[in-house]
Amino acid sequence: IGLIAHDTQKKVMLEFARRHHALLSRFGRRLATGTTGGLLNGEVPARLAAEAASLRPVLPPPVPGWTTALQSGPRGGDAQIAEEVLEGRCRRLIFFEDPHVAREHEADIQLLERATRFAPQGCLCINDLANAEFWMNGFASLLAA
């Protein structure tokens, strides 16, 4: 499963991952772009030092290596995850995108979204918290059955 969150959505992703840590841990592999991956592994990068106090309470349990943190989005991380999707190594993606902020790597974001639509083995891409919660609750019910 891929986990990506733009800066304004990082806290939302962390809270989501904290609530669903056990279920997300059932996936054989968790991929994330750099900063999100670091946060999901319990590390607050220096560039977010000013926000550290508000982020620490929502960090998931610190498990080094819980996610494979690729490059940050602007440095090619979205394209790296797109490749994983197209190669069939990532079949689920939770991508909390901020639609109100222009990104310098917009082409990579579009590539990733296109990859999820045309992946040969299929890839579910969830872009908002409500649908992510709905999907995780369904996943939990399926596992409980």
CA atoms of 111 and 65, how far apart (whole Å): 26
- Per the structure block, which two tokens stand in for 64? 């080094």
Q: Is 90:31 a contact under the CB 8 Å cutoff?
A: yes
Q: Is 23:65 a contact under the CB 8 Å cutoff?
A: no
Active site residue 78: yes
Q: Which entry of 7, 78, 98, 108 is annotated as an active-site residue?
A: 78
Sign of the alpha-carbon dihedral angle for 28, 66, 116, 118: negative
Give the catalytic positions in this structure. 78
